């Protein structure tokens, strides 16, 4: 096992595998509310970078749904965090924000998509990761599209998987 890069110690609480504790809740003004399961994994190879994979599944059929993967970097000497993300929907994004205690609040800085991506297009994404006092991890995502203002899309709570 490789030692965690010193610069990433503030994010050590995120490392490992997380599984949805109960189904997450998806919503948006233009869609039917839905429930989903999700597994997150955060790992490293000693670089000043965390590698991550998020895999979502249908809560009842377990069919694979949304998937994301990417990298997390921190600006040395600051609490500034960047997520570099690729999504199976054809979206790529950079999100940046601040780490305060065990809470990460991120805002999309750049969003790009395949030329043939379905409409409406996402214009802006906000997400919050928070480690709760009970040891569970919570993720909330809101987004703005071509025709909807920033509105919550996802809320889910995870427990550590061993």
Contact between 122 and 114 (Cβ < 8 Å): no
State in angstroms the smallest separation of the CB of 29 from ligand HEM: 7
What is the residue whose two structure tokens read 């970078």? Answer: 49
Does the footprint of ligand HEM cover residue 154 (CB under 6 A)? yes
Q: Which residues pair with 15 in a beta bridge?
A: none
How far is 144 from 120, CA to CA, in rounded Å? 10
Does the footprint of ligand HEM cover residue 34 (CB under 6 A)? yes
Interacting positions 53-82 with ligand HEM (CB under 6 A):
56, 65-66
| Nearer of residues 4 and 128 to ligand HEM, judged by Cβ | 128
Binding part of the chain for ligand HEM, among 10-18, 24-32, 43-51, 99-107 by CB under 6 A, reads 24-32
Region of 139 on the Ramachandran plot (φ > 0 left; ψ -120 to 50 alpha; else beta): beta
Does the footprint of ligand HEM cover residue 125 (CB under 6 A)? yes
Does the footprint of ligand HEM cover residue 26 (CB under 6 A)? yes
Say which residues have a Cβ less than 8 Å from residue 11's Cβ, sequence separation at least 6. Answer: 50, 72, 74, 81, 99
How far is 69 from 59, CA to CA, in rounded Å? 21
**1: which 2 tokens?**
């096992």
Binding part of the chain for ligand HEM, among 12-20, 29-37, 42-50, 97-105 by CB under 6 A, reads 29-37
Does the footprint of ligand HEM cover residue 86 (CB under 6 A)? no
Binding region for ligand HEM (CB under 6 A):
26, 28, 30-31, 34, 36, 56, 65-66, 91, 120, 122, 125, 141, 143, 145, 153-154
């Amino acid at each position: 096992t490789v030692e965690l890069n010193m610069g990433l110690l503030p994010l050590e609480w995120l490392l490992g595998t997380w599984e949805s504790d109960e189904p997450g809740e998806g919503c948006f003004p233009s869609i039917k509310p839905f429930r989903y399961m999700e597994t997150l994994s955060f790992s490293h190879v000693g670089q000043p970078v965390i590698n991550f994979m998020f895999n979502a599944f249908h809560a009842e059929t377990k069919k694979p749904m949304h998937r994301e993967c990417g990298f997390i970097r921190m600006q040395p000497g600051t609490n500034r965090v960047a997520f570099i993300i690729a999504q199976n929907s054809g979206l790529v994004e950079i999100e940046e924000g601040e780490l305060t205690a065990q809470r990460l609040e991120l805002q999309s800085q750049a969003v790009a998509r395949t030329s043939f991506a379905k409409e409406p297009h996402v214009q802006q994404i906000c997400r919050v990761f928070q480690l709760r006092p009970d040891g569970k991890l919570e993720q909330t995502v809101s987004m703005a599209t071509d025709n909807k203002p920033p509105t919550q899309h996802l809320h889910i709570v995870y427990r550590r998987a061993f």
